[in-house]
Amino acid sequence: MSHTGNTDRLMSDINVTPFVDVMLVLLIVFMVAAPMMIEGVEVSLPQATSQPLATEQEQLIVSVNQNGEIFLNDYQVQLTELREKLDLIIKGQSDREVYLRADKEIPYGVVVKVMSEIKDAGVERLGMVTEPQYSDEKDIKQTKS
């Protein structure tokens, strides 16, 4: 008994078109939703007369809020962990620059302790973030429009 040439075999190729379609839809959803999920740390900054800094890359920011809680960008850290975490982050960077945002109601001693931990982590340049100081209502109206 001989078999005639039966060519009905199982197809072993995977159809990736539906997978690619789903991935593109998810990409678009996350691109639209990501900017809406960004939250910052609420800090009441002191005011000073200075010019805004021009930056081309995202900067590393250490914030201290009015409750004395310390944040590394948006992640809360303890003062005892700050040096270790900063050291790991900036180890491979050529530009070792960090910005410090401290609430104006925080005692000066707390700010100095945070600055000391930042410098001990190997940060070469430490910048202070402030709010612009307005001389009169005309300046306020110009910046809001």
Residue 63 near residue 145, CB atoms below 8 Å = no
Per residue in 54-103, pLDDT (tens digit) is: 555 667 888 888 888 888 888 888 888 888 888 888 777 767 788 888 88
> Residue 24: which pLDDT band, with cuts at 50, 70 and 90?
very high
Higher pLDDT, 14 or 35: 14
Helical packing angle, 108-120 and 79-90, nearest 10°: 40
User: What fold characterizes domain 47-132?
Assistant: Nucleotidyltransferase; domain 5 (3.30.420)
Beta pairing, strands 75-77 & 70-72 = antiparallel
This prediction's pTM? 0.53
Residue 74 near residue 40, CB atoms below 8 Å = yes
Cβ neighbours around 103 below 10 Å, total:
20
Q: What percentage of the chain carries pLDDT values higher than 90? A: 3
Map out the domains of the chain as residue ranges: 47-132
Q: Would you state the pLDDT for residue 144? A: 47
> Residue 53: which pLDDT band, with cuts at 50, 70 and 90?
low
Per residue in 101-144, pLDDT (tens digit) is: 888 888 888 888 888 888 888 887 888 877 776 655 554 444 44
CA 74 to chain CA mean position, Å = 6
What's the rounded Cα separation, in Å, for the pair 30 and 74?
19
Give Cα separations from 52 to 37, 43, 55, 132, 140 (angstroms): 25, 18, 9, 9, 16
